[in-house]
Amino acid sequence: MLEKLTADSFEDHLESIFLLDIDTNTPLALKLSEVTRYTNPAFQNDKGIREPFSIIFIGPAQPILPQSSYVLKHDQMGVIDGIFLVPVGKDDQGCYYQAVFN
């Protein structure tokens, strides 16, 4: 499924909640806060190549998850298996996680 996801797939769900199961009874709620496209003006998508993009989620300040592949669940997108999240920062809003799609 990951190979079919595009920036458009996520832009439709900005500010919505994705649930991540960890080894507790309560899933971790991550809010999709940003979608960034990495478009080169010379990029030609006539060969079915996905436009590179990244997404940023905001989660609670604790626990800070290690970079790893995770399973996310979303009410409308369903189950996203194998998304690689990297913690990229922390502030008073919580911990930020990034996934990059090439």
Instruction: State residue 22's pLDDT score.
Output: 84
Full-model pTM: 0.89
Into how many domains does the chain fold? Answer: 1
Instruction: Pick out the chain residues at pLDDT < 50.
Output: none
Instruction: State residue 41's pLDDT score.
Output: 59
Rounded CA separation 72/27 (Å): 10
Residue 36 belongs to domain spanning: 2-101
